[in-house]
Amino acid sequence: MSSSLDHDALASLLRRPHLRSLLAAMNQDGEETRIVGGAIRNALLGRPVTEVDCTTTALPDQIVRLSAQAGFKSVPTGIEHGTITVIVGGEPFEVTTLREDVETDGRYAVVRFGRDFAADARRRDFTINALSLGLDGRLHDHTGGLADLAARRVRFIGDAHVRIREDYLRILRFFRFFAEYAEADPDPDGLAAAGQERAGLAILSRERIRHEVLRLLGARRAVDTVRILAEHGFLTWILDGAGEFGRLRRSIGAGQPFEPVERLAALAVMVEEDADRLRERLRLSNEEHRKLSAYGRLVACLKSGPDICGAVDLRRLVAVHGIDMVLLGMAALAGEPRPRVSREAMAALDALRSGVAPLPVFPLRGADLVEKGVPKGPRIGELLSRARTIWIAEGCPDHPGSATALLQRVLADG
């Protein structure tokens, strides 16, 4: 069943010099250290491995001591949970002592350290995240993760209800990992448990919800997964509002590398005020909120603009909203009754996107006005604002002499 997995990639992983040096150093004094989790999963799937985590029988103070003996720097980044970051040749590795849960509260766990790799594997979330690999090249699978990975299936370890009650964030992680790694339909037991345990989501911080939602929206099967979230009653709770699946699908299918927050805009921003709601709901950063607000303003312009958006209208939109936002809006709203976009406008947009045509850039600066004798102060800003309004109304001209003519006009009117 594992024939579709790249086992040769595991050997390549173990040949990484810094990682091999780390494992050799940690496998001293009767201790054993293995690679665990995402690095193995991604290697077997032929995906890039950017971070490598390890688990070990060594206690945190032993990790520090063994690191020092080998000449490695160690940083106690999560020592209360048994995690030490060991830096080998400038490359960081998280090394965590084997653990067992003593007590959980739906988000955090009280753990005790152990020496049982199987017990440590069984406390993890999904089978595909519980594989471990030793320095000898042996792959250890205590939960059936190898078969699930080959089947592209995301499945909770053991009883899904128990795993979720240990940490309710696992509900969102279940959907996010499905979006990134799974084929076919969600695991029915996991989906049913997620639905029955959904009340526990209320204890999660909005920052953690934001983190999972944005990562899900950046995943390979984002559209399919968002539909599943909606069908099972999760999406309205997550967004505190409705979603627009068609716009999300079109924005993803447009072939542009839109960021997850831009995909969120396409999905959840119908009017500018939606951006304020989402900022509060998901604790968005100021920059993320700015992008959602800008998208909301653009949608309003596109919906209330001329019956047919021509090439000059398109230049105005790009000048006001920026090329990236216009590309997103045009992709998301494609095929809707408004806007109706002419062929010339779409050709102009493609020329601007590809760099064949230069982007419209407002041609005047404050220094231009000062050179003409306007004193520094508020008057400069007033004249520039007036000049920009004229420039946009005239279609953002960029032909030779247009900047000079604009400057002369605004000075004459001023």
Tokens at 323, concatenated:
């090329």
Q: Regarding beta strands 53-56 and 91-97, do their DSSP bridges make them parallel or antiparallel, or are they unpaired?
A: parallel
Question: In CATH, what is the architecture of 2-158?
Answer: 2-Layer Sandwich (3.30)
Secondary structure tally for the chain: helices H, strands E:
22, 11
Q: What is the predicted pLDDT for the residue at 102?
A: 67
Secondary structure of residue 51 in the 3-state scheme: coil
Q: What pLDDT does residue 103 have?
A: 65
What is the per-residue DSSP string for 215-274?
Answer: HHHTSTTHHHHHHHHHHTT-HHHHHTS---HHHHHHHHHT-----HHHHHHHHH-SSTHH
Domain boundaries in the chain? 2-158, 222-360, 366-413
Residue 269: CB atoms within 10 A of its CB come to: 26
What percent of the chain lies above the pLDDT cut of 70? 97
In this model, does residue 2 exceed pLDDT 50? Answer: no
Distance CA 190, CA 367 (A): 63
pLDDT at 107 over 80: no
Report CA 279 to chain centroid distance, whole Å: 16
pLDDT in tens, 302-331: 999 888 999 999 999 999 999 999 999 999
Average pLDDT rounded to a whole number, residues 5-21? 96
Tokens of 411: 């000075």
- In our burial notation (b when 16+ CB lie closer than 10 A, e otherwise), range 355-376 reads eeeeebeebbeeebbeeeebee
The pTM for the full model equals 0.91
State how far Cα 353 lies from the chain centre. Answer: 23
* DSSP state, residue 336: S
pLDDT in tens, 324-374: 999 999 999 999 999 999 999 999 999 999 999 999 999 999 999 999 999
What does the pLDDT read at residue 109?
65
Q: How confident is residue 100, by pLDDT bands cut at 50, 70 and 90?
A: confident
